[in-house]
């Protein structure tokens, strides 16, 4: 029997090298190798002081990860979710939903944005996100900007 995946969280500046490597490795395996999308994975945002990393670890391996970035525009705090991915062998087990819920618990009622791969718009919609602009191509993959309000709590649709 496989153990339940453990939810882990760290501020960027508290993340140890081994864990950061494991998170980046999974992201490269999914976005660059599986999706055949060479893009600048190392964008400088992973180590920003207000960036948080959340991940699920199972049997000593990172199986799902996301990056939660705190942003400040005109004195207002907001968040951006990015780099959400799940290892191919671990899909269909609710890991994405679990990480999104954990991240959104930290976000609370603050505005939160993300750039969804367009085929995932409906999934993000179940977590209170709505399209916030026109679809666009990023690295050859259709994306849709999405936003989850500010000033009100959202319910999560099962």
pLDDT of residue 152: 44
pLDDT of residue 138: 85
pLDDT of residue 157: 40
Q: How many CA atoms lie within 13 A of 100 on its CB side?
A: 24
Q: pLDDT tens for residues 20-65?
A: 999 999 999 888 777 777 777 788 888 999 999 999 999 999 999 9
What span, in angstroms and rounded, lies between the C-alpha atoms of 53 and 11? 6
- Is the Cβ–Cβ distance between 53 and 10 less than 8 Å? yes
- pTM of this prediction? 0.85
pLDDT of residue 112: 96
Which region among 28-32, 62-66, 134-138, 140-144 has the lowest average model confidence (pLDDT)? Answer: 28-32
Give buried/exposed letters for 70-85 (b at 16+ CB in 10 A, else e): bbeeeeeebbbbbbbb
pLDDT of residue 153: 43
Q: What is the mean pLDDT of residues 84-94?
A: 91
Instruction: Output the average pLDDT for the chain.
Output: 88
What span, in angstroms and rounded, lies between the C-alpha atoms of 109 and 149? 7
Q: What is the mean pLDDT of residues 141-149?
A: 92
3-state secondary structure the chain: CCCCCEEEEEEHHHCCHHHHHHHHHHHHHHHHHHCCCCCCCCCCCCCCCCEEEEEEEECCEEEEEEEEEEEEECCEEEEEEEEEEECHHHCCCCHHHHHHHHHHHHHCCCCEEEEEEHHHHHHHHCCCCEECCCCEEECCEEEEEEEECCCCCCCCCC
Q: Which of 129, 114, 2 is nearest to 58 (CA)?
A: 2
Q: Quickly state the pLDDT bin for 155 (edges 50, 70, 90).
A: very low
pLDDT of residue 41: 76
- Total Cβ atoms within 10 A of residue 110: 17
Domain 6-110 fold is Aminopeptidase (3.40.630)
């Amino acid at each position: 029997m496989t153990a339940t995946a453990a939810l882990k969280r760290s501020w960027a500046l508290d993340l140890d090298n081994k864990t950061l490597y494991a998170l980046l490795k999974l992201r490269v395996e999914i976005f660059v190798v599986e999706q055949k999308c060479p893009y600048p994975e190392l964008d400088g945002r992973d180590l920003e002081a207000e960036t948080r990393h959340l991940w699920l670890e199972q049997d000593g391996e990172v199986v799902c990860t996301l990056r939660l970035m705190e942003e400040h525009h005109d004195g207002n705090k907001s968040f951006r979710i990015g780099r959400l991915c799940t290892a191919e062998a671990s899909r269909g087990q609710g890991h994405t939903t679990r990480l999104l819920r954990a991240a959104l618990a930290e976000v609370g009622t603050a505005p939160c944005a993300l750039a969804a791969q367009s085929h995932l718009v409906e999934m993000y919609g179940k977590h209170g996100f709505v399209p916030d602009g026109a679809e666009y191509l990023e690295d050859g993959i259709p994306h849709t900007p999405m936003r989850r309000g500010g000033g009100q709590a959202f319910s999560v649709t099962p």
